Amino acid sequence: MNGKPQLVLDLAGVLVSNFSSTFWPAIFGESGLSFQRIREQFDEVRKDLWTGKLREGDFWIWLCNRVKWVNREEARKLLIQSLEPLPAIHSLGQWSQIADIHVLSNHCKEWLEPILDQIEPHTKSITISNQVGLSKPDIQIYHHVAQYFDDYGASHPMVLYIDDQEKNLIPAIKLGWNTLLADNKHQWLHQVEPILSGIRCEK
C-alpha cells in the first residue's frame, strides 16, 4: 500500500468526447433523413456492444444492414476520429503524481487504441467494458476495478470516481467511494486535486 488515493475516471465525456453527437450526424450527412430511429435502435444493442456480446465487427454489419449507403471502413475511421481528447487528458500526468489512476469505460477497446496509447503511461489499470463482459452501472465492474487498488478491502477506501452520467455514480457511492459528476464545460477539473487532498487527509 503506497498511501496514494485511487482516482477512477470514465473515458467518454471525461477524457475523450462522446462519439454520438458527431458520428451519427456525419453518417447521415445532408440526406434529409432523420437519424433518430437509428440511434434508438443503437440504444437497443448498446448493452450487448458494451459487454462484448455483440462483437465490434458485427456492429458494423448491423449498421450497414440498416443504413445501406454506409461504407464500413470509412464509417469506422469516422467514428475513431470523432473520439477527440478532452482537456482532462492533459492533466493525467499531474494527477498521477498524487494518485493512482484507473480508467473505467463502457466502450469498444477496438475504437480506443489511439487514445489508450496516450493515457496508458499515466494509469495503473484500464478497464474497458467489452473486454470484461460487464458494463456500468453493474456494480460488478466497479468491483473489478477495485481489485487494482492498493487499499482494496479497506473500510474507508481513498477513492474518487468521476463520470459524466449520474446513474454511473450510484454504484460507486454504494461502495463508499467519493464521486464527482463531470460537467460538459469541464469545471469539474478544478475540483479534482482539492478532493484528492481532502480524502488523503481523512485517511
Is residue 153 over pLDDT 70?
no
Q: Grid coordinates standing for 140?
A: 460488478
Q: Is 162:14 a contact under the CB 8 Å cutoff?
A: yes
The full DSSP string for 137-186 is T-HHHHHHHHTT-TTTT-SS--EEEEES-HHHHHHHHHTT-EEEEPPTT-
Question: What digits encode the pLDDT tens for the residues 70-90?
Answer: 889 999 999 999 999 999 999
Q: Is 179:162 a contact under the CB 8 Å cutoff?
A: yes
Q: Which helix (H) or strand (E) holds 192?
A: helix 192-202
Question: What digits encode the pLDDT tens for the residues 19-57?
Answer: 887 888 787 764 545 667 777 788 889 999 999 999 999
The full DSSP string for 7-76 is EEE-SBTTTB--SHHHHHHHHHTTS----HHHHHHHHHHHHHHHTTSS-HHHHHHHHHHHSTT--HHHHH
